[in-house]
Structure 1
Amino acid sequence: MRWSAVVACSALFLSSAVNGQDSAKSPDGGYSVSVVPNGEGDENGSGAQAIVLYGARGGVQRRLLVSRWNGDYSRNLAGLSRPLFSLDGGYVYFSSTDASPNSAYVHRFDLKRNAIKAVCPGLALRVMRTGPYRGYLIVQTHRYWDRPEGGSYNPVFLTHPSGRKIMMVPGSDNDEGELAVDPWLAKMNWRAW
């Protein structure tokens, strides 16, 4: 499958374009990280994107990784999106996806060790900034109903940084589960971004 077809198929599930520039600032404001185009790449997206760390003044600090496709979706590092810094700024979480929305996966890049770890299936939406779950992730997944009529939905889960799901965000068990996140955070008086 051509890379453009992968992006088109994934766009329904991703709320931001896979091939667009996704960015995040570090908690201390000293750095930003972006998913940027890196060239044409191959038919699976290998080489098409990079995750780059910038200094506060805009200078490139270092290229963290260049996209590379793998048939095992927990090891796939193509279709990159949604970089997020951990609370301490030591890690960058990001998502990868293949042509199918249920192949999305959250990964963590350790900035000190230059190591990547697969965290859990889904798309990283935010990091909890306040409340008892500070530092936990808000992750959207793609699931299929176990009902006779079938169908799918996109629930959102409060997720430990290790990948263990803590709870489903109330009201997120539908096609647009991410819309339940802000009302839930407001009700709990918690913040996440």
Structure 2
Amino acid sequence: MKHPTTLLGAVLLLAMCAAPHAYAASVKVDRGNIIMIDDAGSARPLTAGGLDSDPVLSPDHLSIVFVRRTPHRMVNTASGAESADEAWVMHIDGTAQRRLVEGAGAEDPKRTLAAFSSPIFSPDGQTVYFMSVAWVTSSSIHSVELSSGKERFVTDGNSLEIVPAGKYRGDLVVNKHKYWLASGSYDWYWLVSPTGKEIAPIGPGDESIEEFRSLFVK
């Protein structure tokens, strides 16, 4: 006959294995720190320092990408001096934090990396896209592969959305500032491939985006 203590230990072990793991239901920012809200509604701070923003969950809810401000380090851009900034990724429990991209100045606006915003995962969770300050009239969109850390310029744009499903899954919806041949300028949403190729215009306003979603995001 097994010892009662041994039996109790086995029961506890089985209970622990059967218990559901905490699941990241959402993430938010509180005074510059990333907070994870699990499926039970409990809040847990994941970063400290008060410099973090723009947290986004990966499609599998196991990782978080976010922006870390660098007020002590500035970059000269076409719009003036901006915070160099960094893009980071971590597990939902706050471990395995690593920097993906570090801001840097460059003569070519396509290579300027500063004042990051709108980070977002690709549908397969293998790539992160984000926006950077670039030209006076437009920001730039860059991508970074999580496995290799390779960063590249994708396209110009003043907004960023990833198509999550359907025919155009993984493509980008970007608001672009363009110029008419005669004179003047306009701002339209475009469907863009992950390599930066313009696939097709979507339209000028939010109504166009909603129509695109209703037709193609299924």
Interval of TM-score (by shorter of Structure 1 and Structure 2): 0.7 to 0.9
1:112 correspondence with 2:147? yes
Partner of 2:126: 90
Residues 10-49 of structure 1: matches in 2 within 5 Å? Answer: 21-42=53-74, 44=76, 45=81, 48-49=84-85
SS at match of 1:181: helix
Q: Which letter does structure 1 place at the counterpart of 2:110?
A: S
Partner of 1:14: none
Unaligned runs of 5+ in 2: 1-50
SS at match of 1:130: coil
Unaligned runs of 5+ in 1: 1-18
Larger of the two Rg values belongs to structure: 2
| C-alpha spacing 1:179/1:64, structure 2 compared with 1 (3 Å) | farther
Contact 1:46-1:68 at 8 Å conserved across structures: no
Separation (CA, whole Å) in 1 of partners of 2:128 and 2:217: 22
Moved more, 34-43 or 24-33: 34-43
> Which TM-score applies when normalising by structure 1?
0.75
Separation (CA, whole Å) in 2 of partners of 1:135 and 1:108: 12
Residues 61-140 of structure 1: matches in 2 within 5 Å? Answer: 61-98=97-134, 100-102=136-138, 104-140=139-175
Contact 2:83-2:115 at 8 Å conserved across structures: no
Partner of 1:168: 201
Partner of 1:181: 209
Bigger relative contact order, structure 1 or 2 (CA pairs below 8 A, ≥6 apart)? 1
SS at match of 2:141: strand
Partner of 2:176: 141
Among 126, 130, 153, which residue is 2:186 paired with?
153
Contact 1:47-1:66 at 8 Å conserved across structures: no
Contact 1:52-1:60 at 8 Å conserved across structures: no
> Which TM-score applies when normalising by structure 2?
0.67
Q: What's the % identity of the aligned pairs?
A: 30
